[in-house]
């Protein structure tokens, strides 16, 4: 595991609850301090925007949405034709959508986020 990944994982452990919210102006979804940290340190504002847009479109299916990023193994990449996948579900094994990403520079292999009440957050901030 490289230094950057360790730094990100260690930093994410410091977020519990959130007193400050930020907003994506065009779509008016909110995100927490932990998500802001993640976006800045991992340079993944694309992830915040993509997941917010898609999760918001799924709000009629569930009030609580889990978002799971997963970098695929070599075998999975060959099978699915992509480098990473983001799965949107209800947290109880019901999958609403899966989105494939041909290429990604996101440094983590896996990450779970929650989208609740129009707000994107880390699980520790729920």
Cα(first)–Cα(last) distance of the chain, in Å? 27
- CA torsion sign for 14, 125, 122, 29 is negative
> What per-residue confidence (pLDDT) applies to 19?
80
Residue 1 scores a pLDDT above 70: no
CA 80 to chain centre: 20
Per residue in 20-58, pLDDT tens?
Answer: 899 998 899 999 999 999 999 999 999 999 999 999 999
Handedness of CA 52, 55, 100, 74 (dihedral sign): positive
pLDDT tens digits along 63-102: 999 999 999 999 999 999 999 999 999 999 999 999 999 9
């Amino acid at each position: 595991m490289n230094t950057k990944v360790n730094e990100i994982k260690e930093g994410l452990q410091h977020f519990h609850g959130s007193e400050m919210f930020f907003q994506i102006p065009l779509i008016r979804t909110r995100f927490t301090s932990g998500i802001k940290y993640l976006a800045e340190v991992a340079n993944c504002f694309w992830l915040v925007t993509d997941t917010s847009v898609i999760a918001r479109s799924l709000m009629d299916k569930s009030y609580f949405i889990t978002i799971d990023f997963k970098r695929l193994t070599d075998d999975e990449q060959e099978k699915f034709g992509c480098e990473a996948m983001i799965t949107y579900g209800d947290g109880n094994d019901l999958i609403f959508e899966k989105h494939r990403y041909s290429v990604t520079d996101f440094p983590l292999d896996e990450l779970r986020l929650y989208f609740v009440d129009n707000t994107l957050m880390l699980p520790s901030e729920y």
